[in-house]
Amino acid sequence: MNTTPAPRIAIIGAGPGGLTCARILQQHGVTATVHDRDAGPTARDQGGTLDLHADNGQIALREAGLLEEFFRLARPEGQEMRQMDPAGTILFHHVPEPDERFKPEIDRGRLRELLLTSLQPGTVRWGHTLRTVSGPAEGPRRLHFTNGTTFEADLVVGADGAWSKVRHAVSQATPRHTGVSFLEAWFHDVTTRHPEIAELVGQGSAAAADGERGLFAQRNGGDHIRVYLIQRVPAGWITDRGLTPQDTDGIRALLLERYGEWSPRLRRLITDNDGLYVDRPIFALPVPHIWEHDPTVTLLGDAAHLMPPLGVGVNLAMLDACDLALAVARHDTVGEAVRAYEQTMLPRSTEMARLLDGAADGLMSTELPDFATADNP
């Protein structure tokens, strides 16, 4: 940036997108502050594993100066993919080459740690849940947090996910349920406690579907496996059946009824899990999701273009973050930077959102997916 004084940049959300944006800004000598609702970096489980693609997520990591460290932490063997039928017969099996680096896996927690430790101390302000954004479009903007504090910024970046508070400043759009929901099941210490499941899933992912329901099992680091049971159900399907998320036995009985014709081997991915199921209804923003240019507020990742979990979420968020940070570094004003960024990001995300609109149903299809582009829930 050539302007003085330096712009005050506030990024809301310490997920992969927000942290990548802050890191690349700092690489170019631009200061940014990240505000996150979590009490600290280990306040909650960060979710399962994800793959970072060479043509988007890895581009951002290269610009952040973290690509080689990512390869050191990633699991290239996690690119193994198996597609089965409900009888447990393998229909397709991809085993990655030893030097295959197109989309290696990394646990979300490890990716977050990689990004966090790369930032200057004090960059992230934990325990800051955004309530509202006020102030004129020309700035400055004022952030109001639920803990009673405020923060003034010349640019507010909404990297705060599906239910973004920053989004309200530029758009009235809200996510809508896709008609598909995941139910997540966890398996720990699988080599010792669940050897048959470990063998079934392999080192990467395994999927099966019968046209009405699906299953996606995924190897995580630390000898864990997460399984996503995929159904075409209303968002409140558990309570609609008179159950609660804590009623593991009741949910399991319902699942065994719905997956009753599947092989006993695959049904173990339903019955043998450790702990509670986690309900994950799948939401998406309307397509296209665009807004009028605002020189002091913009969005990235799910805040800008929430889509079904079909391989683009984190990768696009990190590419968004890279593009925005570089635009800020290369333009004289944040308004010019935001306009340049959105001229790239909005057409890209609109094209991808149109491709994936309604595509969550494909997770239950008996047709073999294209594993060259498919990704993880």
- Ligand-binding annotation for 330, yes or no, is no
Separation between Cα atoms, residue 323 and residue 143, nearest integer Å: 24
Question: Which residue is listed with tokens 């951002």?
Answer: 60
CA angle 103, 106, 112 (to 5 degrees): 125
- Answer for the pair 264, 256: CB distance below 8 angstroms, yes or no: no
Separation between Cα atoms, residue 174 and residue 283, nearest integer Å: 9
Closest by CA position to 135, among listed 154, 119, 148 = 154
- Ligand-binding annotation for 247, yes or no, is no
**Using omega within 30 degrees of 0 as the cis cutoff, is the peptide bond preceding 288 cis?**
yes
- Ligand-binding annotation for 110, yes or no, is no
Q: Name 188's Cβ contacts closer than 8 Å, sequence gap at least 6.
A: 223, 224, 274
How far, in Å, are 195, 212, 265, 309, 342 from residue 271 at the CA level? 15, 19, 10, 24, 46
The H-or-E segment that residue 163 falls in is none
Q: Name 255's Cβ contacts closer than 8 Å, sequence gap at least 6.
A: 183, 229, 270
* Per-residue burial over 232-249, b = 16 or more CB atoms within 10 Å of its CB, e = otherwise: bbebebbeeeebeeebee
Question: Which residue is listed with tokens 């800020």?
Answer: 328
Specify binding-site residues for NADPH.
Answer: 44
Specify binding-site residues for FAD.
51, 108, 302
Residues flagged as binding site: 44, 51, 108, 302
